[in-house]
Chains A and B, each alone.
Chain A
């Protein structure tokens, strides 16, 4: 068992497929991860399970990996999903990280509108094309230049760029950018199918990405940052906000407008 703690999760799952189900049971979403090189022991630490849940998770995994010599689970705890609702504690973020979580809200609003946008898509008219390009502008300016830049240029800079969990985030951002380029290309070629495909792929990507950040990455990063770093980061975010001026407000109005346009 011990040797597997230092192995990448993809490798462990490949060798012992039932581990995937155990991780899912504890809401640890490593199974669909595209990188999968996080070490088994890091994964357990990053997800901040209670000591009892961690112990029972490890006991279940060791039963699969090394049957016969498993870690004894004193009082076996049910996995997270079976816990009563009241036990799930609200995540408390530091002020700068909370700001990022709040920015996710507008991004989530826009991506939730994507199916409606696709349904009403008309690439034959200039207005129809403009609407898609406005959405692209929102993604590029708000989600990417404003929000992802805060993550990449400020928050992530406090951590080792070689950490797998950070690498996965960078990779998601890059994949998102590639979908946006494909959307623009599709609009130019008036290729409705391709635009719809990449819009949906972007929606799926960012939905998972934001969930990972809100629920796992950010709380974990928050726990590593010192008080001094939190203060510095807060000041740097404020500088970024100052630089962007009224632009975020404009995008908020844009998303609200699309939401009302498609509400009926």
Chain B
């Protein structure tokens, strides 16, 4: 193999051989579990009612595309093995490409302090630069006067949960 393969975050991978024909994806419509709009971190207001006392997901953009069962697993009240509880509010961002990420830190801090969120779950891809989103969350949490439990979940590029841990 080539000695230099570039940034792992943009390294090409081809999964076409795997599960040709849809694998075990459910047929038909999957109901959306999204309970709010907007969702992009620059557009959201941390004081919106659906964040009050909520379990909040801070998800890297790519996760929703890589993880096949995003809605039922992460957003739904029933939740999968990784969530459960009362359903989640969400904010999405890309720690690699987005500008003005200091605004994100302020908004996460406001979730914790003002919206008094219950928990924060940071969903990231396995690529190293995605860790930046967890760093933002940690930075915001450290500067906040109130404390909440923070969990992070790492999703692989082929949609598998690689790691789930409380910070």
Q: Are A227 and B151 in contact (CB under 8 A)?
A: yes
Q: Which residues in B have their C-beta under 8 angstroms from that of A96? A: 149
Q: Which residues in B have their C-beta under 8 angstroms from that of A228? A: 55, 84-86, 118-119
Name the residue of chain A whose CB is nearest to the CB of B87: A228
Q: Are B166 and A94 in contact (CB under 8 A)?
A: yes
> Which residues of B from 122 to 155 have beta carbons under 8 Å from A?
147-151
Residue A130, interface by CB 8 Å: no
Interface string of A96-123 (1 = CB under 8 A from B): 1010000000000000000000000000
Distance of A231 Cα from B165 Cα, bound (Å): 14
Residue B59, interface by CB 8 Å: no
> Which residues of B from 79 to 130 have beta carbons under 8 Å from A?
79, 83-86, 117-119, 121
Among candidates B121, B147, B165, B167, residue contacting A227 with C-beta atoms closer than 8 Å: B121
- Which of A36-44, A190-198, A211-219, A232-240 lies at the interface? A232-240
Q: Are A95 and B79 in contact (CB under 8 A)?
A: no
**Apart from A228-B85, A228-B118, A230-B149, 9 more pairs, CB < 8 Å:** A92-B165, A226-B79, A226-B83, A226-B84, A227-B119, A228-B55, A228-B86, A231-B55, A234-B149
Question: Looking at chain B, what size class is its interface with the partner chain?
Answer: 10 to 19
Distance of A95 Cα from B149 Cα, bound (Å): 6
- Taking A227-B85, A234-B148 as contacts, is the C-beta distance between A95 and B118 under 8 angstroms? no
Distance of A238 Cα from B145 Cα, bound (Å): 13
Q: Are A231 and B147 in contact (CB under 8 A)?
A: no
B4 smallest CB distance to A (angstroms): 33
Interface SS of chain A: helix, strand, loop or mixed?
A: helix
B71 smallest CB distance to A (angstroms): 16
- Taking A92-B166, A94-B166, A232-B118 as contacts, is the C-beta distance between A227 and B148 under 8 angstroms? no
- Taking A227-B55, A228-B86 as contacts, is the C-beta distance between A238 and B147 under 8 angstroms? yes
Q: Which residues in A have their C-beta under 8 angstroms from that of B83? A: 226-227
17 contacts between A and B (CB under 8 A): A94-B166, A95-B149, A95-B166, A95-B167, A98-B166, A226-B84, A227-B79, A227-B84, A227-B121, A228-B84, A228-B118, A230-B119, A231-B85, A231-B118, A234-B119, A234-B149, A238-B147
Q: Which residues in A have their C-beta under 8 angstroms from that of B149? A: 94-96, 230-231, 234
Name the residue of chain B whose CB is nearest to the CB of A228: B85
Distance of A235 Cα from B149 Cα, bound (Å): 9
Q: Are A231 and B119 in contact (CB under 8 A)?
A: yes
Residue A229, interface by CB 8 Å: yes
Residue A93, interface by CB 8 Å: yes
Q: Which residues in A have their C-beta under 8 angstroms from that of B167? A: 95
Q: Are A229 and B85 in contact (CB under 8 A)?
A: yes
Name the residue of chain A whose CB is nearest to the CB of B119: A231
Q: Are B85 and A226 in contact (CB under 8 A)?
A: yes
Q: Which residues in B have their C-beta under 8 angstroms from that of A230? A: 119, 149, 166
Among candidates A92, A226, A229, A231, residue contacting B148 with C-beta atoms closer than 8 Å: A231
A137 smallest CB distance to B (angstroms): 29
B79 smallest CB distance to A (angstroms): 7
Distance of A228 Cα from B55 Cα, bound (Å): 6
B77 smallest CB distance to A (angstroms): 9
Distance of A98 Cα from B83 Cα, bound (Å): 19
